[in-house]
Amino acid sequence: MRELNRNVLMETVKFLNKIVAYKKSNKMDEYNVSLMFAPNIFRTISGKDPMTIEHIEKMQIHTHNMMELMTSFDYIFAEWLPYNHLHETKDQIVESCL
């Protein structure tokens, strides 16, 4: 993956994890966020294509992959994250957004 694409994906997933940090108040857990954003990140069909069983199956796989990106963020992107990020708690990450 090109560096620019990787960085955009990494920042997007970090942002989505911040949304999930407030799941008690916004009802957006990992699954709900993945369900909403996977079609935009893993585009498989155009708006003109008819929806088929194959497209629905692909979307289920993409939703699962999006959840994996979010829940395994530190593992997947460890090579490109600053050292101190790996030692931040979720509360510290949320505080940095406020």
CB atoms within 10 A of CB 70: 21
Please name the residues in contact with 13: beta carbons below 8 A apart, sequence gap of 6 or more. Answer: 69, 70, 73, 77
> Could you give the number of structural domains in the chain?
1
Tell me, what's the pLDDT at 19?
93
Of the candidate ranges 15-19, 26-30, 45-49, the one whose mean pLDDT is the lowest:
45-49
- What would the pLDDT profile of 42-76 be if each residue is shown by its tens digit? 876 666 777 788 888 888 888 999 999 888 888 88
Tell me, what's the pLDDT at 75?
83
Range of the domain at 9: 3-97
- Where do we find the tokens 């497209």? 55
Q: Are 9 and 41 in contact (CB under 8 A)?
A: yes
Tell me, what's the pLDDT at 33?
95
